[in-house]
Amino acid sequence: MKSAHRHIIRQAQDFAREVHQGDASGHDWWHVQRVTRIARILAHLEGANVYICELSAVLHDVADEKLNVSKEAGYERVRHWLKQAGAEASDQEHVLGIIGTMSFSGGTGSAMHTLEGQIVQDADRLDAMGVIGIARTFAYSGWKGQSMYDPSVPLRERMTLEEYRKGKSTAINHFHEKLLKLKDRMNTESAKLLADGKHQSLELFLEAYDKEWAMGNEAYLRESPIHRGNVSRIHIAFDESTAGSLRIMLLSKPGEIVVTLGDNLMAGPLPNDLDFARSHSTRKEWFEERYSTAHAEDRKLTMLQAAFAWLTWPQQMKEMPCLIWAGDSAAEQLGLRRLLSLMPDHSEVRLVNATSVLHQHNPNQRFKGTFEMNANHLQLVLDAAEPVPLSPQAQEGYRADWERLLREDGFLRVLRGDMLCTVPESYYDEEILKTVYRLEARHGFFKKSARVIGEVIGQGELTVSDSFIEYRIRHLIQKGALTYSGELDAMRHYSVSLVDASSPKEQWSHEQRLAKAAKLKSLLSEMMEMNFTETGFMEELRQLDAESLGLSELSGSEVLTGSMQTEIDHLLSTYEDHQEQRKSLMRFLEKALIQVDETAPKE
């Protein structure tokens, strides 16, 4: 760059700094600095005149009508300064042309005709996007006396320059009226690439703002900063995994939204919505007393967020078409019953049992719940079967079942067929002990608790949470059925092994007796499997003829064939005694199991 050009730019910087000093509208000197820096780099990348780009960027807001009596007055102000600074006539016209065409003007501005103009315009628009653009938007709204957001102020889809400048709006409306449109109005390839990430920041901010606006808001459907009352159907999920897949599936359907009513109701006291405060406190205390302290704060937050959702959403959904996603898992079926108890006699509610639909579509494929499905699976479900409308009678049946579960006042519920059943907390203890045995965590050998939990849930295809299984493992340790090494503060910090009870059987705890039964059952199962395998193997040997193996051409084949046949015959004759002994032992184990069960104390 020529030294004369550098001198003019330094003068322009001093001039612009003085003009923008003390600005609180988001058009301060630091905005000018950022635009200038971006314009300089873009000019190098795009092969433009760096001097013209930089000079135009420094002066681009001096002529802004917000800072002048009128746009024309601002324009003349810059013209006068350029002439006084000694800029060449052609450069003056180029810079003035850029500044005069810079403004967004409510989307009505003219197109830039030079590469330098396109670059400066891109740089200015990039600074209106992303995190800094968000900050500038709220600064500008505050400076102008506008609210952050007011649901009663409508979006201005089309507007004149006068309406854009002086009409009523809000900071959030400005996102829709200008900021979200900028990505598609970039001129250069470099700016288009940069705009993608900044545009995503705008969208993420709006989603977060909308989410916080929804918190505790019973009028959210009317007030939503994103949806603004334009909701045609609500999809209801009972966990975040299902909700996430649904949102991906519905990307092309902006009128349909997803509501998450969380809190896995399989474990713990059920919330009674007629006495919410007491039952919520009881439920929270139940988890605090039993579950590990690891992630306790996360668990409290999850329960709190679920409470907000359950207290605000059902009332809003009474008059809206609803699609409830509840598959063959206890958590989803419990959520379904609770929801229908809170919005009785809904006239437009439908049920989707995605696990059942997909199993009918492909009998070889089985999901534990909707939470295991991705967006493609869920779309396949909708394509394969029409969601079932829930009649008043069906809704009443679900509500009655919820009342039954509340009366049973238990702490663990499982799904048996189509029936939700209240079961003891110890329901999975035997499976835990059998898994520990199967993993050979016995006789002084230990296995990580996390490994045991993964095996219990995975092999048993359970839908109960890993936190519940971990609670039961610590309970079995406390009762002497398991021993451990490490620290019990988190499942990944300790390992477990089966305990051989040394005390008289009359003093065994229920859990120790259960451990004995688990050992016996596992041993019996292994022996039965071994017996089945060996029986087939021995039958193959009986049919084997050593002479038919084709060994006659080998040296000493007669001796080899004879010896092999002798060994086979000897093995067959001794195996029969061995098999009888094993069968006798298996019968003994079965009797021992019966005795353990009969003498076991009841919980």
Confidence category of residue 381, pLDDT binned at 50, 70, 90: very high
pLDDT in tens, 91-111: 999 999 999 888 765 445 678
How far is CA 7 from its chain centroid? 56
Residue 192 to residue 197: CA distance in whole angstroms: 9
Residue 56 to residue 116: CA distance in whole angstroms: 9
The reported pLDDT for the residue numbered 106 is 46
pLDDT in tens, 511-558: 777 777 777 777 777 777 777 777 777 777 777 665 565 555 555 556
Residue 463: strand, helix, or coil: coil
Q: What is the DSSP letter of 412?
A: B
How far is CA 388 from its chain centroid? 27
β-pairing, 388-389 vs 349-352, is antiparallel
β-pairing, 447-448 vs 494-498, is antiparallel
The reported pLDDT for the residue numbered 576 is 74
Residue 269: strand, helix, or coil: coil
The reported pLDDT for the residue numbered 150 is 95
State residue 556 phi and psi, 5-degree precision.
Answer: 70, 30
State residue 511 phi and psi, 5-degree precision.
Answer: -70, -35
- Identify the sign of the CA torsion 403, 408, 410, 414: negative
Q: What is the DSSP letter of 439?
A: T
Amino acid 317 reads M
CB 458 within 8 A of CB 431: no
Per cent of the chain over pLDDT 70 is 91
Confidence category of residue 503, pLDDT binned at 50, 70, 90: low
Q: Picking from 54-58, 193-197, 571-575, which range would have the lowest pLDDT averaged per residue?
A: 571-575
How many CB atoms within 10 Å of residue 278?
A: 11
Two tokens at 456? 């219990």
Q: Picking from 192-196, 212-216, 549-553, which range would have the lowest pLDDT averaged per residue?
A: 549-553
Higher pLDDT pick, 260 / 347: 260
Residue 428 to residue 464: CA distance in whole angstroms: 10
The reported pLDDT for the residue numbered 520 is 72
Q: Picking from 27-31, 263-267, 348-352, 513-517, which range would have the lowest pLDDT averaged per residue?
A: 513-517
Two tokens at 279? 């039952």
Two tokens at 559? 């001796």
CB 524 within 8 A of CB 590: yes
- 260: part of which helix (H) or strand (E)? strand 256-260
The reported pLDDT for the residue numbered 402 is 98
Residue 29 to residue 58: CA distance in whole angstroms: 9
Angle at 47 between CA 44 and CA 51, to 5 degrees: 65
pLDDT at 19 over 80: yes
The reported pLDDT for the residue numbered 266 is 97
Residue 532 to residue 583: CA distance in whole angstroms: 11
pLDDT in tens, 56-86: 999 999 988 777 777 788 889 999 999 999 9
Two tokens at 580? 């009888």
Per-chain mean pLDDT for the chain: 88
Residue 234: strand, helix, or coil: strand
Residue 523 to residue 592: CA distance in whole angstroms: 12
* DSSP secondary structure letters along 37-62: HHHHHHHHHHT--HHHHHHHHHHTTT
Bridge partner list, 267: 412
Amino acid 180 reads L
Residue 355 to residue 248: CA distance in whole angstroms: 19
Q: Which residues contact 24 (CB under 8 A, 6 or more apart)?
A: 139, 142, 143
Q: What is the DSSP letter of 422?
A: E
The reported pLDDT for the residue numbered 452 is 95
pLDDT at 188 over 80: yes
Q: The whole model's pTM is what?
A: 0.80
pLDDT at 113 over 80: yes
Residue 287 to residue 411: CA distance in whole angstroms: 10
The reported pLDDT for the residue numbered 14 is 95
Q: Picking from 226-235, 330-339, 451-460, 506-515, which range would have the lowest pLDDT averaged per residue?
A: 506-515
Q: Which residues contact 477 (CB under 8 A, 6 or more apart)?
A: 483, 484, 488, 496
The reported pLDDT for the residue numbered 22 is 86
How many CB atoms within 10 Å of residue 333?
A: 24
- Helix ranges restricted to H, 250-353: 276-290, 296-317, 330-342
Higher pLDDT pick, 492 / 527: 492
Highest mean predicted confidence (pLDDT) among 316-330, 496-510, 512-526: 316-330
Q: Which residues contact 166 (CB under 8 A, 6 or more apart)?
A: none
Residue 335 to residue 333: CA distance in whole angstroms: 5
Higher pLDDT pick, 12 / 74: 12
Two tokens at 196? 């993608």
Residue 466 to residue 324: CA distance in whole angstroms: 25
Residue 109 to residue 100: CA distance in whole angstroms: 10
pLDDT at 398 over 60: yes
The reported pLDDT for the residue numbered 559 is 56
CB 273 within 8 A of CB 310: yes
pLDDT at 340 over 70: yes
Q: Picking from 48-57, 103-112, 216-225, 337-346, which range would have the lowest pLDDT averaged per residue?
A: 103-112
Q: Which residues contact 144 (CB under 8 A, 6 or more apart)?
A: 25
β-pairing, 322-325 vs 233-237, is parallel
Higher pLDDT pick, 583 / 333: 333
Residue 561 to residue 548: CA distance in whole angstroms: 9
Bridge partner list, 234: 257, 322
Residue 32 to residue 59: CA distance in whole angstroms: 8
pLDDT at 34 over 80: yes
Q: Which residues contact 534 (CB under 8 A, 6 or more apart)?
A: 575, 579
pLDDT in tens, 255-271: 999 999 999 999 999 99
Confidence category of residue 508, pLDDT binned at 50, 70, 90: low
Two tokens at 423? 């079961």
pLDDT at 379 over 70: yes
State residue 521 phi and psi, 5-degree precision.
Answer: -65, -40
The reported pLDDT for the residue numbered 547 is 59
Residue 405 to residue 407: CA distance in whole angstroms: 5
